[in-house]
Structure 1
Amino acid sequence: MMQTKKSLCNIKGLSEAKVEKICEAAEKVVNLGYVTGNEYLHKRKSVVRITTGSNALDTLLGGGIETMAITEVFGEFRTGKTQLAHTLCVTTQLPLNMHGGNGKVAYIDTEGTFRPERLIPIAERFGLDSTAVLDNIVFARAYTAEHQSNLLYSLAAKMAEEPFRLVIVDSIMALFRVDFTGRGELADRQQKLAQMLSKLSKIAAEFNVGIFMTNHVIADPGGGTFVADPKKPAGGHVLAHAATIRLMLRKGKGEQRICKVYDAPNLPEAESISSSLFCCIQITAGGITDCKD
């Protein structure tokens, strides 16, 4: 029901007549039509919020990383994006009464930055067995944008059989920026990106998992001299509309990092550093934690 009839007809062995019958049968099983607000509110009660390891950041996010949603974190290099991803690999496996997700994690690495040994001290911090933690993470290294997209098909098959709670893509735009060059390929790049983000959104909705993706920033030539920080997240409007929650990380003093809510449907955009929609976190051996200052 989440696929077009055209795409289903491309599957070997499925004719138009078979696709019509499949869709008719699926409509009787799955209701994708109108529901009341109360019915949807009841469905939203199944959303799990996974702790980030920082009380301040959890408060900023209304409890943690949401399932059935796409959370994007962008920032310059060395702002803690990958460290946050590693921390979530562990916290997702915590039981629900410890604000975890009680599920497995899928990690798609596009830049070669995943380090399983980094998870050992983080697991120890939360009192988990590091061997069990690593066994509950499925990892794939993507080398092209097409490979990155195709990995989602096999991942969906795994999710139909095992209890996953989080999908991490670190980072979402790296391979697209390599495989598509120049303005001449920009339209094709954005279309392929939109299709992959649509797959992620459908996986999040169907399996009640959270999608956590990191993103680069790019220089904005039109930012002007008087703009304090003329950088913006890569991916353009396609990525901006696909992400449910967008967070911006920037460097603070030492190992401190400042997180700002850039866009979210349930939170207003922060305007100043004095706003409660900012928080300060730091990177430690045990992953992302609260700032002590």
Structure 2
Amino acid sequence: MTYQIWRQDIGYENDSGNVISTGCSKLDCFLGGGLPVKGITQIYGESGVGKTQLALQLCLKNVQEKKSGVAYISTDAIFPSKRLQELRRKIFIRNHSNVNYDRIFIEHISSKKDFEDCIFSSKRLQYLLSKYNIQLLIIDSIAGTYRFEYETRNIIDRAKSLRKMGYQLQKLASLHSLAVVCINQVTAVPQNLCGKQSFARVQPSLGITWASIVTNSFYMYKQNSHRYFYVAGSPYLPNKTIEYKILDSGVVMLTS
């Protein structure tokens, strides 16, 4: 086992109604109750829009019950423990005095090979899911290893690896009643406007192969001085938008 435990002494609506809370009641309402258990939820957007902030918020909200846990796989950078502690001090310790933060399990991944081993090995993630009541798996970000290792290689190899990874995540979600949240980056889409190429539009990284595996897709973006959370794709939610702000206490929606 290579999991590090973040320790601090301090807490679908879909057809089935089986959801987890985002830590923001307005966002939960906007999503029909919260994020769905089973399937894969993708949250994508450019750097700095608050994707990791929301992921940390999910961690804190979903370790309130002493028998539940969170697995957090970080592929891009060191896990932001300082910000997690700030969020705890600002809101969660005030509102939830009985939470158990010993059950946030963190894995740092630096290569696609290590990532695949983590997901498929019976001695790593699967062992953790079997031993503890893990209700939430966060991968931040799913594109972290694939984007660089396949830049100059056959895109068919990447597609095969992504399909294999996606199906395994879906299998684990179904087997363990697990909410799988994958943070994703964006790629610019060239547009031909009046004979000139523009890159105004963006789409989730990893292309159509990954998009076909995702169950729900949510887009976080900035427009002028405002930030928005958009339902880009869902089997039970319409395409709709809600404005949000990032405060010291986390990601907060502004309208219901």
The answer to whether TM tops 0.5 is yes
Are residue 201 (structure 1) and residue 170 (structure 2) matched? yes
> Where does the alignment leave 5 or more consecutive residues of structure 1 unmatched?
1-40, 96-100, 271-276
Query: 1:64-121: per-residue Cα shift (whole Å, max 9, x none)?
Result: 11111211011111111111111111011234xxxxx962000000011521121223
Matching of residues 269-288 of structure 1 within 5 Å: 270=239, 277-288=240-251
Aligned twin of 1:161 = 131
CA contact (8 A) 1:70 1:201 kept: yes
Aligned length: 234
CA change 1:71–1:236 in 2 (3 A) is same
- Distance in 1 of aligned mates of 2:146 and 2:46: 18
Aligned twin of 1:132 = 100
Aligned twin of 2:208 = 237
Which of residues 61, 76, 80 is equivalent to 2:31?
61
CA contact (8 A) 2:69 2:135 kept: yes
Matching of residues 227-266 of structure 1 within 5 Å: 229-252=200-223, 254=225, 256-266=226-236
Aligned twin of 2:4 = none
Aligned twin of 1:50 = 20
Between Structure 1 and Structure 2, the one with more helix by share is 1
Matching of residues 87-236 of structure 1 within 5 Å: 87-95=57-65, 103-124=68-89, 125-127=91-93, 128=96, 132-133=100-101, 135-152=102-119, 153=121, 154-182=124-152, 184-221=153-190, 223-225=191-193, 229-236=200-207
Between Structure 1 and Structure 2, the one with more strand by share is 2
Residue aligned with 1:111, SS: coil
Aligned twin of 1:37 = none
CA RMSD of aligned residues (A): 2.5
**Identity, % of aligned pairs?**
27
Larger-Rg structure: 1
- How much does 1:291 deviate? 2.8
Whose relative contact order is higher, 1 or 2, with alpha carbons under 8 Å and at least 6 apart? Answer: 2
Give TM-score scaled by structure 2 length.
0.83
CA contact (8 A) 2:188 2:199 kept: no
- Distance in 1 of aligned mates of 2:199 and 2:222: 14
